[in-house]
């Protein structure tokens, strides 16, 4: 009887196509794979974004002392400081946003397995 049931199930699957269980399994594997690949990629990008923050802070620190030169143009000195600070702020925001996205993706992945 079990051979008959197997035959019937295979026959029905062939005639009607995949049932919802098979489709759900395929969708799960696709979602799981997509999230894992994206998370791995995002984790690699964290290093670059952290470096961007460190580099921006270094530029700001150099700007504070006018890169070791005398200050002949005070407006330009202040402008360089403001620009350097804005670069730090943007780099920190990019890192924070990126980490938030990474956390979100990891939470979604953990939820798939729950």
**Inside any domain, residue 65:** yes
**Inside any domain, residue 1:** no
**Inside any domain, residue 63:** yes
**Inside any domain, residue 20:** no
Q: Give per-residue pLDDT as tens, 83-114.
A: 999 999 999 999 999 999 999 999 999 998 77
**Inside any domain, residue 24:** no
Q: Quote the number of domains for the chain.
A: 1
Its domain, for residue 52, covers 33-113
pLDDT at 33: 94
Q: Give per-residue pLDDT as tens, 27-74.
A: 889 999 999 999 999 999 999 999 999 999 999 999 999 999 999 999
Task: Determine the Cα–Cα distance for residues 97 and 48; give it in Å rounded to an integer.
Answer: 14
Q: What is the DSSP string of 48-111?
A: HHHHHHHHHHHHHHHHHTGGGS--S-HHHHHHHHHHHHHHHHHHHHHHHHHHHHHHHHHHHHHH
What length does the chain have? 114
Q: Give per-residue pLDDT as tens, 2-30.
A: 666 777 777 777 777 666 777 788 888 99
Task: Read off the tokens for 36.
Answer: 């894992």
pTM: 0.75
**Inside any domain, residue 2:** no
pLDDT at 2: 63
Task: Determine the Cα–Cα distance for residues 10 and 4; give it in Å rounded to an integer.
Answer: 10
**Inside any domain, residue 44:** yes
**Inside any domain, residue 42:** yes
- What's the mean per-residue pLDDT of the chain? 90
């Amino acid at each position: 009887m079990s051979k008959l049931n197997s035959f019937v199930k295979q026959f029905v699957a062939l005639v009607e196509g995949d049932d919802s269980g098979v489709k759900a399994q395929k969708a799960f594997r696709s979602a799981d794979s997509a999230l894992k690949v994206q998370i791995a990629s995002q984790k690699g990008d964290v290093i670059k974004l952290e470096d961007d923050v460190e580099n921006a802070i270094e530029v700001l620190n150099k700007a504070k002392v006018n890169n070791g030169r005398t200050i002949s143009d005070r407006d330009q000195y202040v402008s360089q400081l403001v620009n350097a600070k804005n670069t730090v702020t943007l780099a920190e925001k990019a890192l924070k946003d990126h980490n938030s996205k990474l956390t979100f993706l990891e939470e979604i992945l953990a939820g798939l397995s729950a």
